Amino acid sequence: MSVITTLMSLKQKRFCLWVPAVVVSITACDFLLTGAPDDADLFDAPIPGLTTEQLAAFVRGDAAFGRRFSAAEGLGPIFNAAACGDCHSGDGRGRPENILTRISLGTDPALALGGPQIQDKAIPGAIPEDVPGGVDISLRLPPPVFGVGFIEAIPEAAILANADEFDGDGDGISGRPNWVLAADFVPTSEPGAGPGLQLGRFSRKGQVSTLLQQSVEAYHQDMGITTDFLPEENVNPQSGRSTLAADHAPDPELSAAEVRAVVDYLRMLAPPAPGEDTPQRQRGSDLFTQVSCDGCHVREFRTGPSTIAALADQRVVLYSDLLLHDMGDALADNRPDGSADGREWKTPPLWGLRIARDFLNGDLFLLHDGRATSIAEAIEFHGGEALASRNAYLSLGAEDQDALVEFVRSR
């Protein structure tokens, strides 16, 4: 007999009959399986090497991440989604139907008009927000949440080693960090917290430095769930505070313990493994370097120390430098975030592309707003610092273009 919350992997949980008993025979459970996917083919598998206690925490956090809120439990009064998974499909890439709308007026996040994010849904008795006129609009596809524990554990110095803000080497690529202030509610014990400017690692423009802040603000902005960290409801300024009368759940609606359970879960979520090498993929890998894709999509880092031993001193093959780059007019949204301007985006990691379509009904949505539905199309939208690489890709023959795309698709 084995304790299910510590010895049963998420892949078994999804493909095995779930029973309310605390213990279950793993061999009996395996009898019900018709062939569960390998952990490398999942977006919600734990990183290897976790302790029994950490695996138990992982499963608790997974349950909290999957919790669907009702109005009685605090959903709203204005919101975008009722559960974390509504935005993060299978913990992976989002879909256009759950895209988020951010607004700004120049350098102002337009808080008086409903910014930084428009909540387009409301519980009964409340009024959802509309996008006001005259503002800059930035559509944001929810990013993947796997692998963020590795990103958190990469030493700051390793990331800054790739920064070249003024293009000192003359290669046309001038990645720079997004320096941000951690929210006041984040304890200084959290990685990426503390006084003064911190290195932004998370979200589309790297405007968040800590996983705790990312999670707390997602509950508050995306679901309208108050927590011990942000105990006051998000108000629709277009309708006044009268909307709050519709929300009868006492604040805070979620404990710090449950928030931290979700943060622990995110830290321990493993990125999917890349596909096996083939001659075509190896050719594509060579071309990836030849056209300087890895000038921004840096192939790998190594983590430093971590309170989770399984995250420490690990090779991280994410294909991102985690820095900001000017991506040109076509991708500009005119919305600043932290020190990022309206033309800059953080290089998105490429890991997980190999299985992304499996969790999106066969579809693929790329770039910050999901406008590209194929890797080739995403490359063609690249401009600014990536223009030379885009043009080099387009100058390749059809077979070489296919090889490069196949390499990226296999990550």
Of the pLDDT bands very low, low, confident and very high (cuts 50, 70, 90), residue 268 is very high
- Percentage of the chain exceeding pLDDT 90: 77
Does pLDDT of 20 surpass 50?
no
Tokens found for residue 132: 């006001």
pLDDT score recorded for residue 107: 82
201 or 245, higher pLDDT: 201
Q: Identify the three-state secondary structure at position 334.
A: coil
Mean pLDDT for the chain?
89
Identify whether the C-beta of residue 367 lies closer than 8 Å to the C-beta of residue 378.
yes
CB atoms within 10 A of CB 121: 17
d(CA 383, CA 109): 25
Mean pLDDT computed over 42-58:
93
Q: 279-409: which CATH number, 3.90.1300.10, 1.10.510.10, 2.40.420.20, 1.10.760.10?
A: 1.10.760.10
**Rounded to an integer, what distance in angstroms lies between the CA atom of residue 247 and that of residue 225?**
11
CATH 1.10.760.10 positions along the chain are: 279-409
The Cα–Cα gap between 408 and 404 comes to 6
How is residue 39 written in tokens? Answer: 């952990």
Q: What is the mean pLDDT of the segment spanning 237-250? A: 84
Q: Is 12 a residue whose pLDDT tops 60? A: no
Q: Is the pLDDT of residue 5 over 60?
A: no
pTM attached to this predicted model: 0.89
Q: How is the chain split among helix, strand and coil, in percent rounded to 5?
A: 35, 10, 50
112-157: pLDDT as tens digits: 888 899 999 999 999 999 999 999 999 999 989 999 999 999 999 9
Give the least confident one: 16-25, 229-238, 267-276: 16-25
Q: What percent of the chain shows pLDDT beyond 70? A: 89
| Stretch 402-407: mean pLDDT | 98
Tokens at 293, concatenated: 């894709």
pLDDT tens readout for residues 214-233: 999 999 999 999 999 999 99
Cβ of 228: how many Cβ atoms within 10 Å?
17
Q: What is the pLDDT of residue 37?
A: 57
Q: Are strands 197-199 and 179-181 parallel, antiparallel or unpaired?
A: antiparallel
Terminus-to-terminus CA distance in the chain, angstroms? 37
In the prediction, which pLDDT does 42 show? 66
pLDDT of residue 29 exceeding 70, the answer is: no
Q: Report pLDDT for 19.
A: 31
Nearest-CA neighbor of 377 among 362, 392, 390?
A: 390
For residue 26, pLDDT over 60 is answered with no
Residue 245, pLDDT score: 86
pLDDT at residue 177 is higher than 50: yes
Closest CA to 262 of 30, 97, 66, 53: 66
Backbone angles phi, psi at 24, to 5 degrees: -155, 150
Question: What pLDDT shows up at residue 44?
Answer: 83
